[in-house]
């Protein structure tokens, strides 16, 4: 039977045929386009339209910069810890800083029967009729005490800051005899410390030193307290920058304590801290103590005249940094030792003679350690003392790789820095340090021309990262690879010390989808150079990576911005304590905690 088509049916058939032909044409076009993509093995790397110049302003970042001090007396029963304002004007200047470090000094005096609570012990320095001070009680840290420490660190975790943590038994320095006509009498503030003998002088722990706590009979009281605190170190690892290894002596400054008078004492303390502080975190002490520890631990003979070489990353020896209690002070003596802070521990190494100390060796030791170095300044002294003054300060800060300083101390030195006009003539003026008589010049960075010295110091403490070059894949196939080649420069004085995750985030230009993948980049490799100027291309470090798109998960087709995120592997928040570049332009995404480094298209 002959089929008869109506007009409508004929029109429908014609439409279907035309649609099919159009579909074939579109498929051929897409195939040709994809063929054009496939004809190229990889997408071209396109220079990204970003600003590669440094913005000379305060860039708050974790693990570096000025710190805000806060003292805590750990209570036996209960208490509420305070927290400092992170934003402040640096003492003696008009320079504002948004600090990202809290220096937390925890006083354990309530837990040592040797620790005066409210005054100096009686001694030859006492006046007639002086009453003895009250003392603490040697005992375990109570649950309320541990809860107090946790609450204080939780306030850091809730902020954008990190903490320098320090524990000691005499935060007020009551056991220090500071009157020149009296010798410092051994009066240890630590619990269980023996009277009249240098602790650990024989290398054998006496039974009287032990705490006697069931299950911990092998520990003395200091070890037991450290054991109790060790769990807290682990809990708050992500927001702890570094642990200061003081503990002994007045203010926890190690000097004037029998614990600090033997190499064996330092060896014992540093091994104890290495055991209780998480492996990812460093310990601040001083060069003499660390070399004494190394000599006992490994049978070496390091000293200021036979300097300990740079230790390998990841070793116990590399975990030590330095806290300088008289940063850039020079000295009132002939040894130029920052009032003894740089030379501290010299009796424990080498010949034990102060003549062996060498300022250059101490600063070189710090540079070799590739770790945290900083502290607090003191009064600048006479005008002929060049050490706390520009341009010597600039030179030594870059050489020793200074990472952190106190906002609140010392007004006199900081006023000098704030009053200094940072220009080429002033910065490059030759200076001759008296400790070696070598005439030097500091390097002038024109980015800060006309600023004041404190602004420059504020911004250069620790690391400071500037993206100098960025090329990214123009497009990525679904089975392809995102490739990136760039350069980054650390224009700060110091290094990134604590290991960081370096991740890449693809953020959709349309919509809110984001996709994240980790890289194998190690930000600690982005080391500074003494010359931080932008045209010093020898100081530009590689920032290269290749990531299969599948590592990001199921990525939809479309246009994407590429972000680079740098944060601590232990960090649990989405965007806290992430590292921001110091580039000009609006390339920082606070919600992501990441830096814009380019764009691409997923086909």
Question: How much is the pLDDT for 14?
Answer: 41
| pLDDT above 70: percentage of residues in the chain | 89
Single out the residue of 328, 330, 167, 134 nearest to residue 240, CA to CA: 167
Whether 47 and 124 share a structural domain? no
* pLDDT level of residue 42 (50, 70, 90 thresholds): confident
Domain housing 514 = 41-57+464-602
Alpha-carbon gap, residue 163 to 168, rounded angstroms: 16
Whether 143 and 243 share a structural domain? yes
pLDDT tens-digit series, residues 491-516:
999 999 999 999 999 999 998 999 99
> What is the distance between the terminal CA atoms of the chain, rounded to a whole angstrom?
52
User: In which residue are the tokens 């004809």 written?
Assistant: 39
Question: How much is the pLDDT for 311?
Answer: 98
Whether 107 and 188 share a structural domain? yes
Whether 170 and 50 share a structural domain? no
CB atoms < 10 A from the CB of 407, how many?
Answer: 24
Question: How much is the pLDDT for 571?
Answer: 96
105 found inside a domain: yes
423 found inside a domain: no
598 found inside a domain: yes
Average of pLDDT values for 279-284? 97
In contact, 105 and 122? CB cutoff 8 Å: no
Alpha-carbon gap, residue 485 to 269, rounded angstroms: 45
427 found inside a domain: no
Alpha-carbon gap, residue 429 to 270, rounded angstroms: 42
Which one has a higher pLDDT value, 39 or 419? 419
In contact, 341 and 292? CB cutoff 8 Å: no
Whether 154 and 184 share a structural domain? yes
User: In which residue are the tokens 């921001």 written?
Assistant: 580
Alpha-carbon gap, residue 68 to 87, rounded angstroms: 9
Single out the residue of 302, 271, 296, 298 nearest to residue 285, CA to CA: 271
In contact, 313 and 271? CB cutoff 8 Å: no
DSSP letter string over 310-329?
PPPTTSGGGGEEEEEEEET-
CB atoms < 10 A from the CB of 472, how many?
Answer: 22
Helix (H, G, I), strand (E, B) or coil at 286: coil
Alpha-carbon gap, residue 419 to 396, rounded angstroms: 19
Whether 162 and 267 share a structural domain? yes
Question: How much is the pLDDT for 179?
Answer: 62
pLDDT tens-digit series, residues 158-188:
999 999 999 999 999 998 876 666 666 667 8
The 3-state DSSP composition of the chain as helix, strand, coil percent (nearest 5) reads: 30, 20, 50
Single out the residue of 294, 375, 383 nearest to residue 340, CA to CA: 375
pLDDT tens-digit series, residues 323-368:
999 999 998 667 789 999 999 999 999 999 999 999 999 999 999 9
513 found inside a domain: yes
30 found inside a domain: no
CATH of the domain at 574: 2.60.40
Q: What is the length of the chain?
A: 603
Side-chain half-sphere of 598: how many Cα atoms within 13 Å?
24
Whether 486 and 542 share a structural domain? yes
445 found inside a domain: no
Whether 535 shows a pLDDT value over 60: the answer reads: yes
Whether 137 and 239 share a structural domain? yes
Single out the residue of 470, 317, 494 nearest to residue 398, CA to CA: 494
- Contact residues for 537 (Cβ-Cβ < 8 A; gap 6+): 487
In contact, 473 and 45? CB cutoff 8 Å: yes
Alpha-carbon gap, residue 443 to 391, rounded angstroms: 9
DSSP letter string over 395-440?
HHHHHHT--EEESSS-HHHHHHHHH-B-SHHHHT--B--TTT---B
Question: How much is the pLDDT for 209?
Answer: 73
Whether 78 shows a pLDDT value over 90: the answer reads: yes
Whether 481 and 379 share a structural domain? no
Question: How much is the pLDDT for 188?
Answer: 84
Q: What angle do CA 100, 407, 180 make, to 5 degrees?
A: 135
Whether 49 and 156 share a structural domain? no
Mean of all residue pLDDT scores within the chain: 90
Alpha-carbon gap, residue 144 to 352, rounded angstroms: 44
| pLDDT above 90: percentage of residues in the chain | 79
Alpha-carbon gap, residue 408 to 67, rounded angstroms: 9
Distances (CA, A) of 102 to 131, 145, 169, 497, 500: 36, 20, 20, 17, 20
519 found inside a domain: yes
pLDDT tens-digit series, residues 249-266:
899 888 878 778 889 888
Task: List the single range of 34-48, 259-273, 537-551, 574-588 with lowest mean pLDDT.
Answer: 34-48
CB atoms < 10 A from the CB of 449, how many?
Answer: 13
H-helix or E-strand spanning residue 246: strand 240-247
Whether 75 and 51 share a structural domain? no
Whether 444 shows a pLDDT value over 50: the answer reads: yes
In contact, 283 and 270? CB cutoff 8 Å: yes
Whether 317 and 361 share a structural domain? yes
Task: List the single range of 254-268, 294-308, 485-499 with lowest mean pLDDT.
Answer: 254-268
Supply the DSSP symbol for 90.
P
Give the chain's domain count.
Answer: 2
Helix (H, G, I), strand (E, B) or coil at 32: helix
Distances (CA, A) of 70 to 67, 102, 581: 10, 7, 28
Question: How much is the pLDDT for 141?
Answer: 98
Question: How much is the pLDDT for 212?
Answer: 92
């Amino acid at each position: 039977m002959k089929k008869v088509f109506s007009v409508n049916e004929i029109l429908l058939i014609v439409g279907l045929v035309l649609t099919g032909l159009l579909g074939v044409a579109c498929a051929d076009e897409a195939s040709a386009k994809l063929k054009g993509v496939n004809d190229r093995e990889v997408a071209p790397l396109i220079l990204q339209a970003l600003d590669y110049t440094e913005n000379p302003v305060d860039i708050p970042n974790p693990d570096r910069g000025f710190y805000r001090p806060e003292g805590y007396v750990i209570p036996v029963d209960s208490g509420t810890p305070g927290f400092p304002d992170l934003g402040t004007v640096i003492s003696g200047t008009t320079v504002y800083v948004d600090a990202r470090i809290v220096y937390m000094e925890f006083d354990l005096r309530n837990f040592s029967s040797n620790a005066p609570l409210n005054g100096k012990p009686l001694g030859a320095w006492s006046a007639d009729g002086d009453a003895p001070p009250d003392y603490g009680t040697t005992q375990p840290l109570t649950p309320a005490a541990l809860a107090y420490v946790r609450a204080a660190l939780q306030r850091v975790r809730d902020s954008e800051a990190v903490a320098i943590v320090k524990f000691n038994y005499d935060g007020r320095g009551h056991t220090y005899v500071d009157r020149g006509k009296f010798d410092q009498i051994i009066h240890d503030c630590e619990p269980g410390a023996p009277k009249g003998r240098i602790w650990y002088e024989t290398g054998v722990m006496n039974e009287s030193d032990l705490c006697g706590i069931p299950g911990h009979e092998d520990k003395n009281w200091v070890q037991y307290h450290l054991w109790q605190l060790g769990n807290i170190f682990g809990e708050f690892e992500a927001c702890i920058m570094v642990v200061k290894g003081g503990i002994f002596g007045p203010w926890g400054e190690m000097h004037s304590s029998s614990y600090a008078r033997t190499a064996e004492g330092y060896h014992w303390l540093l091994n104890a801290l290495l055991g209780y502080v998480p492996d990812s975190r460093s310990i601040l002490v001083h060069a003499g103590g660390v070399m004494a520890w190394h000599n006992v631990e490994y049978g070496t003979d390091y000293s200021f005249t036979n300097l300990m070489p740079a230790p390998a990353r990841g070793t116990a020896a590399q975990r030590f940094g330095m806290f300088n209690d008289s940063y850039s002070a020079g000295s009132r003596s002939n040894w130029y030792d920052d009032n003894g802070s740089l030379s501290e521990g010299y009796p424990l190494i080498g010949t034990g003679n102060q003549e062996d100390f060498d300022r250059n060796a101490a600063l070189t030791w710090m540079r070799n350690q590739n770790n945290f170095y900083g502290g607090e300044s003191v009064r600048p002294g006479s005008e002929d003392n060049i050490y706390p003054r520009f341009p010597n300060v600039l030179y030594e800060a870059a050489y020793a790789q200074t990472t952190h300083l106190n906002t609140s101390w010392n007004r006199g030195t900081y006023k000098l820095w704030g009053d200094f006009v940072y220009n080429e003539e002033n910065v490059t003026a030759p200076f001759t340090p008296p400790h070696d008589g070598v005439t030097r010049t500091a390097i002038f960075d024109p980015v800060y021309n006309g600023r004041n010295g404190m602004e420059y110091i504020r911004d250069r403490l620790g690391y400071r990262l500037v993206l100098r070059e960025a090329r990214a894949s123009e497009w990525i196939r679904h089975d392809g690879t995102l490739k990136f080649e760039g350069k980054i420069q650390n224009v700060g004085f110091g290094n990134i010390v604590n290991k960081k995750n370096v991740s890449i985030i693809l953020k959709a230009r349309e919509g809110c989808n984001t996709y994240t993948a980790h890289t194998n980049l190690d930000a600690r490799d982005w080391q500074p150079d003494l010359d931080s100027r932008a045209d010093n291309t020898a100081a530009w470090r590689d920032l290269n990576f290749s990531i299969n798109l599948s590592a990001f998960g199921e990525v939809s087709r479309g246009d994407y911005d590429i972000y680079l995120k740098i944060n601590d592997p232990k960090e649990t928040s989405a965007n806290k304590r992430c590292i921001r570049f110091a580039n000009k332009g609006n390339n920082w995404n606070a919600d992501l905690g990441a830096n814009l480094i380019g764009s691409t298209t997923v086909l």
